[in-house]
Amino acid sequence: MITIELTSDDLKNLRFAFSPLRELSASYWALMKPALYAIHLPWIHEATTALEGIELPHIGALITPDGQFANFLTPTPQTPRPSFDEEIARLGQTPAHIIRHDVNQLRIKTETAYAFMETPEAALTALVDEVQLYWQRTLAHHWPRIHAVLESDVLYRARQLALQGADPVLNGLHPSITYREQTLFVETRYEVHLHLDGSGLTLVPLIFMWNDLLLPDEEKPGIPVIGYSARGAGLWTHQAESPEAALIAMLGAGRASILNQLTTPLSTTELAERLAVTPGNISLHIARLREAGLVESQQLGKWVFHRLTPRGEGILRLFEHD
């Protein structure tokens, strides 16, 4: 059991962040254990074909068959929405003593793992090349849709945090995680007790989720990170069907498409990515849908999210299949 005592300041400093490298690492584990990832089987088949004939020994050395990950492969996000390029740059700058320390913690070590300990700089260079190749072949073209699901999850939990406090957010992350009386309990094989100093926790939603808790230690101090399965993680491969002809005739194709997408709250940027149009085009349609009382918008930080009103939901129901 891992117990983490949280102060009032820790609860105030709960933060959400995305991590392309964590998603990449978790997706690699999905390829190793496809039976555990039934909802991702279409992607697994696609990725397996894309990687045919390609060897990735350095990635494989850091993600072991028993589910252990070398910590430096998944650095704590420094910003809420780091890009893949930003995270790969950080990975390439990992100090040699961190590499040796993290690889030494692995319970299963391959010959390549020992290369990380003996010649960490050379092994790191080869790792970065493999990670970039893996990303381009398996995930880069899917990232806009993955990003949209992650954004929707964060919006949901941020609202929950603002309206109901930390209890439902922390208790809803994973069945193995329980929160009560300002203490977080995580069921694991390890016995660890932490008392945080007000710096908070970083919560990272994942599409390819694995049980993930990274803790600070003497070699790698930092804020604990908890990865959890994003709501709707199985929906990112879903391609929305074209709106019904009658709905298009009434609203036009653009506005009909937006209504069909807003069964989950989305930002202007997410809508533009999903529908392959410009954000300006989305804004024009949203303005008209708001005037008709079908959509409402909410500012959250620098992002504006849109959702259906009860009237908008009613319009969609009118055009559902019997």
- Could you report the per-residue pLDDT of 29-71, keeping only the tens digit for each? 999 988 888 888 889 999 999 999 999 999 999 999 888 889 8
**Cβ neighbours around 289 below 10 Å, total:** 24
Q: What distances in angstroms separate CA 303 from CA 24, 183, 270, one per listed residue?
A: 25, 32, 10
For the segment 100-119, the average pLDDT, to the nearest whole number, is 94
Token pair 């941020």 is found at 158
- In this prediction, residue 257 carries a pLDDT of 86
For the segment 113-121, the average pLDDT, to the nearest whole number, is 96
Q: Where are the domains of the chain?
A: 2-233, 245-318
Percent pLDDT > 70 in the chain is: 90
Provide the b/e sequence for 118-150 (b: ≥16 CB within 10 Å): eebeebbebbbebbbebbebbbeebbebbbbbb
Q: What distances in angstroms separate CA 34 from CA 41, 205, 212, one per listed residue?
A: 7, 20, 18
Quick one: pLDDT band at residue 187, thresholds 50, 70, 90? confident
Instruction: Classify domain 245-318 at the CATH topology level.
Output: Arc Repressor Mutant, subunit A (1.10.10)
Distance of CA 149 to the CA centre of its chain: 8
Closest CA to 303 of 279, 263, 268: 268
Q: What distances in angstroms separate CA 308 from CA 134, 294, 297, 316, one per listed residue?
A: 38, 6, 9, 10
Q: What distances in angstroms separate CA 6 from CA 10, 169, 225, 240, one per listed residue?
A: 6, 14, 14, 42
For the segment 261-287, the average pLDDT, to the nearest whole number, is 88
- In this prediction, residue 234 carries a pLDDT of 66
- What single-letter DSSP state applies at residue 308? E
For 280, list phi and psi in degrees, rounded to 5.
-60, -40
- In this prediction, residue 218 carries a pLDDT of 42
- In this prediction, residue 287 carries a pLDDT of 92
Quick check: 304 and 297 in contact, CB under 8 A? Answer: yes
- In this prediction, residue 210 carries a pLDDT of 59
Quick check: 57 and 136 in contact, CB under 8 A? Answer: no
Mean pLDDT of the chain: 85
| Top-confidence residue, 12 or 188 | 12
- In this prediction, residue 240 carries a pLDDT of 46
d(CA 22, CA 44): 17
- In this prediction, residue 165 carries a pLDDT of 87
Q: Mind listing the pLDDT tens digit for each residue in 9-31?
A: 888 888 898 899 999 999 999 99
Q: Is 311 left (phi over 0), alpha (psi -120 to 50) or beta?
A: alpha
Q: What is the largest CA-CA distance in the chain?
A: 67
Cβ neighbours of residue 91 under 8 Å, at least 6 residues apart? 21, 72, 73, 75, 124, 127, 128, 131
| Top-confidence residue, 210 or 71 | 71
- In this prediction, residue 81 carries a pLDDT of 86
Q: Mind listing the pLDDT tens digit for each residue in 128-175?
A: 999 999 999 999 988 888 888 888 888 888 888 888 888 999 988 888
H helices of the chain, in order, are 8-12, 20-32, 41-50, 57-62, 84-92, 96-104, 111-118, 120-138, 143-164, 166-171, 245-251, 253-261, 268-275, 279-291, 310-318
Quick check: 169 and 160 in contact, CB under 8 A? Answer: yes
Closest CA to 59 of 3, 136, 112, 138: 112
Quick one: pLDDT band at residue 242, thresholds 50, 70, 90? very low
Q: Indicate the length of the chain as a whole number.
A: 322
